[in-house]
Amino acid sequence: MFSRPDHEPDRARRYSTPRQLARIDEKSDRNVRLYGRQSRDMIDARIAELRAEWSLERVVQLNIAAVGLGTVLLALTRNRRWGLATCGAMAFLFLHATDGFAPPVPVWRELGFRSRAEIDREIYALKAVRGDFDEVEPIQPPAEEAKIDQAGDAVGV
């Protein structure tokens, strides 16, 4: 139905400047290095903080809901033309849901809001440092798949 595939794991990064991305990634790296040297309890506390952190997606939803409700209230009590602003807010929500962009997103990125995927990357890095994955056995592909992969590598696929 839509021209843009929804296979991007983190669409918010598409609408961020290289400077914003570098700052967000550096913050996550710095946090992993800092908390990776702490006790297990400190890592647990940091993971709990990260799970409670407001993501960019949550801020977008809250903002659009507040604008929508506020303009509906104004349309009902002041002037019906405020209903047009409600339609605009809903258009922004539609755009964000389908494409990952809403006009205020660059401002929120500048303020340091991270996407849920960026927050989750820090969580999983801390889990790895904590040792959560130490006993996980690597998955070995069947021999036929390995041959197919080798053939693909040989022809540059």
Name the DSSP letter for residue 135.
Answer: T
Q: Is 72:64 a contact under the CB 8 Å cutoff?
A: no
According to the model, what pLDDT value does residue 97 have? Answer: 85
Burial class (CB in 10 A: 0-12, 13-18, 19+), 76: exposed
The residue with tokens 């809250």 is 62
In this prediction, residue 109 has a pLDDT band, given cuts at 50, 70 and 90, of: very high
CA atoms within 13 A on the CB side of 14: 12
According to the model, what pLDDT value does residue 26 have? Answer: 95
Could you give the CA distance from residue 96 to residue 103 in angstroms, rounded to a whole number?
9
According to the model, what pLDDT value does residue 21 have? Answer: 94
* Of residues 13, 52, 32, 15, the one with CA closest to residue 126: 32
- Condensed to tens digits (0 to 9), the pLDDT of residues 19-38 reads 999 999 999 999 999 999 99
Q: Which two tokens mark 42?
A: 């400190």
Q: How far apart are the first and last CA of the chain?
A: 28
Q: Is 129:32 a contact under the CB 8 Å cutoff?
A: yes
- Condensed to tens digits (0 to 9), the pLDDT of residues 44-74 reads 999 999 999 999 999 999 999 999 999 999 9
pTM for this predicted structure: 0.77
103 CA to centre of own chain = 17
Could you give the CA distance from residue 28 to residue 125 in angstroms, rounded to a whole number?
9
Please state, for a pLDDT cut of 90, what percent of the chain lies above it. Answer: 65
